[in-house]
């Protein structure tokens, strides 16, 4: 899956994205988002900002840059820009694998469901870019779907997988953790926030 089909997909789905995601947002994601930003401050990157669901949870006083590949998704995020305690929010069209941002220009980065959308060949390049733009010792935090090991969730994932791939270009089979190890990111925390399905990772950029 190249960047162009991904862009086309999100341009198409942007008007419906929040409606399609509403049950998950209401019952699952909205209680998880605060932990992604807890304790962070300064210059922050929201990689794959989408329609801006993270914006209300940005830390007070922070300066946040949200990037996304899709202008249509960014237009939705723009509507949420005023609903934040952050000191400033910039929204920019950008590819996560080729960030037009200076090295070490952020104190931390957060990515919510970005890496389960990126194809396998884009995982390591995206992590290299995040590690480049986050200062040494800064954190990268992820919330990502992974392939369940249990029988019941595994069965549900197989049923749900074709829809996820068609609508979002997402999959449960990305080797995201392997990509973090390959570029030397330190794992500070790894825990399931939904058992056997939704993983929270805190990583640190090497000093």
DSSP 95: B
Q: From residue 115, how far is each of 63, 111, 184 by CA, in Å?
A: 23, 8, 17
49 within 8 A of 91, measured Cβ to Cβ: yes
Structural domains of the chain sorted by starting position, each given as residue range(s) with its CATH number in brackets: 3-204 (3.40.50.150)
Among the residue ranges 31-45, 84-98, 180-194, the one predicted with the least confidence is 180-194
Query: Please, which residues bridge with residue 67 across strands?
Result: 47, 92
pLDDT tens digit string along 82-98?
999 999 999 999 999 99
| 150-176 pLDDT tens trace | 766 666 667 666 767 766 777 767 778
CA nearest to 172, candidates 189, 194, 155, 148:
148
Task: Work out the angle at residue 72's Cα, subtended by the Cα atoms of residues 23 and 76, and round it to the nearest 5 degrees.
Answer: 50
Tell me the pLDDT of the chain averaged across its residues: 89
The pLDDT value recorded for residue 1 is 36
87, 26 in Cβ contact below 8 A?
Answer: no
How many CB atoms are closer than 10 A to CB 169?
A: 19
26: exposed, middle or buried (Cβ count in 10 Å: 0-12, 13-18, 19+) = exposed
pLDDT digits (tens, 9 = 90+) for 2-15: 344 678 888 988 88
Q: What is the mean pLDDT of residues 17-46?
A: 93
Q: Which residues contact 37 (CB under 8 A, 6 or more apart)?
A: 44, 54, 57, 58, 59, 110
Cα 120 from Cα 122, distance rounded (Å):
5
134-144 pLDDT, tens digit each:
999 999 999 99
Query: Distance between CA 18 and CA 131 in Å, rounded?
Result: 30
């Amino acid at each position: 899956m190249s960047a162009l089909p991904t862009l086309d997909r999100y341009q198409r789905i942007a008007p419906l994205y929040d409606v399609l995601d509403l049950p998950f947002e209401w019952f699952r994601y909205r209680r998880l988002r605060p932990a992604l930003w807890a304790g962070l401050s300064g210059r922050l990157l929201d990689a794959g900002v989408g329609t801006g669901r993270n914006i209300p949870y940005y830390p007070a006083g922070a300066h946040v840059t949200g990037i996304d590949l899709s202008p249509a998704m960014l237009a939705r995020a723009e509507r949420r820009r005023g609903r934040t305690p952050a000191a400033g929010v910039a929204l920019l069209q950008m590819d996560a694998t080729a960030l037009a941002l200076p090295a070490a220009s952020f104190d931390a980065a957060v990515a919510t469901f970005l890496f389960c959308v990126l194809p396998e060949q884009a995982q390591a390049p995206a992590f290299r870019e995040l590690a480049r733009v986050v200062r040494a010792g800064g954190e990268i935090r992820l919330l990502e779907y992974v392939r369940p090991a249990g029988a019941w969730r595994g069965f549900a994932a197989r049923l749900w997988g074709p829809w996820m791939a068609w609508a979002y270009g997402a999959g449960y089979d990305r080797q995201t953790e392997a990509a973090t190890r390959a570029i030397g990111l330190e794992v500070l925390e790894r825990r399931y926030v939904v058992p056997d399905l939704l993983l929270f990772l805190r990583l640190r950029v090497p000093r």
